[in-house]
Amino acid sequence: MAILIHNANEVLTFQSTVQGPRRREQMSELGVLENASILIEGNRIMMVAPLEEIKEQFPSLVDNAEVIDARGKIVMPGFVDCHTHLVHGGTREHELNMRLAGKSYMDIMNAGGGIHYTTTKTREASFDELYDKTYAHLNDFLRHGITTVEAKSGYGMNWETELKQLEVAKKLQQNHAVDVVSTFMGAHAVPKEYKGNEDAFVKLLIEDMIPKVAKLGLAEFNDVFCEKGVFTPAQSRLILAAGKAYGLTPKIHADEIEPYEGAELAAEMGAISAEHLLVASDEGIEAMAKAGTIAVLLPGTAFFLRAPYARGRLMVDRGVPVAISTDFNPGSSPTISLPFIQNLACMNMGMTMEEVLCATTINAAHAINRGDVVGTLEQGKQADLLILDVPNYKQLQYFYGMNHTDTVIKAGRVVVKGGNLL
């Protein structure tokens, strides 16, 4: 049955003549319509226009449609969370007091915590345990208006566990309403068993794991943590080049803790995105702008680590296309609230209310190569829509730390109504 949404106070279409991710002032163009309705058939958007125009063009569909009254609310595309470590075992609340006492991210990791702790828990967890836990997390994402997520592996760092993570993500993509886009990140850290022999682990990634991931079709992207004490720029270049040779699009965790030429490497390697960038250099930002590399900024991580925020305002002004994500993970950003992440970006990175919405819809979609499918409301796009219980979009940032999601339509099907899963 077709769906007709009408009477919304505002419809944010994000339609534009711009191809690809939005930059500079383009990020403020929300395409706000005040007298628009939306007609959906199957999993696609048929038309966004005044109701009378829709009735004139599709009279039979309108007459037989399920009608949703969005009076007093706004309608916009589903949120896209383009950087998560979705599939993992265990939690790390025991590290919070360590951090509050002044221990750094790398201090905790070098003491056997951090990524290494989660790796142990993920290795120990069964497939079903990981699947059930992650399915529940996806339900929470959906209730917060997130209809597409990227999911990185990287808490295995051996083939058996990396495969388990990727297969869990694949099954969730098949079974859950949320679209799950997979990234291979075997290069998340050097496992403890390879300490002092890091190049051997790089060789294992390049010669064994990456070819297997590509052959089995388990991921679209290949990511690496380019950071002092983790993988050097030279090692990262080798890992990303190997992924490209097997058809995996490069991504990079770059310049999170120390400036390490990660942004520059992202531009050099033609990465679709560079992520974190808390301490990216001016030169790296300029290189990304020239290359068109998307900056995926993660203000929740800066908030939780009590670290300086990425220079989002500068990046937008310099012409870098910017996306924003939760970085959902058990250590440095244990949140699924992308609305709160938007609030942080406004308050701490100098981005406007309009820019953060662009950064969590169309630009986030482009960061995972889904810009032609989701991220805007226009004819032919997948019908991923939110009805938010605010009278205008500016209240999304004004009433901070709140979930305003009333209704979620995913691929043409109502999956959340009145804030509750159906």
DSSP-assigned letter for residue 24? G
Q: 306: how many CB neighbours lie within 10 A of its CB?
A: 10
| Confidence at residue 107, expressed as pLDDT on a 0 to 100 scale | 83
Distant-in-sequence, close-in-space partners of 193: CB < 8 Å, separation ≥ 6? none
Residues 338 and 346: their CA atoms lie apart, in Å, by 13
| Confidence at residue 106, expressed as pLDDT on a 0 to 100 scale | 79
| Confidence at residue 309, expressed as pLDDT on a 0 to 100 scale | 98
Local confidence pLDDT in tens for the 422 residues of the chain: 899 999 999 999 999 999 999 999 999 999 999 989 999 999 999 999 999 999 999 999 999 999 999 999 999 999 999 999 999 999 999 898 888 888 887 788 777 788 889 999 999 999 999 999 999 999 999 999 999 999 999 999 999 999 999 999 999 999 999 999 999 999 999 998 999 999 999 999 999 999 999 999 999 999 999 999 999 999 999 999 999 999 999 999 999 999 999 999 999 999 999 999 999 999 999 999 999 999 999 999 999 999 999 999 999 999 999 999 999 999 999 999 999 999 999 999 999 999 999 999 999 999 999 999 999 999 999 999 999 999 999 999 999 999 999 999 999 999 999 999 99
Residues 418 and 160: their CA atoms lie apart, in Å, by 41
pTM above 0.75, yes or no: yes
| Confidence at residue 363, expressed as pLDDT on a 0 to 100 scale | 98
| Confidence at residue 104, expressed as pLDDT on a 0 to 100 scale | 84
81 phi-psi bin (left φ>0, alpha ψ -120 to 50, beta other):
beta
For 321, the enclosing helix (H) or strand (E) is: none
DSSP per-residue codes, 155-166: S--SHHHHHHHH
The alpha helices in 323-421, defined as continuous H runs, are 338-349, 353-359, 362-367, 395-398
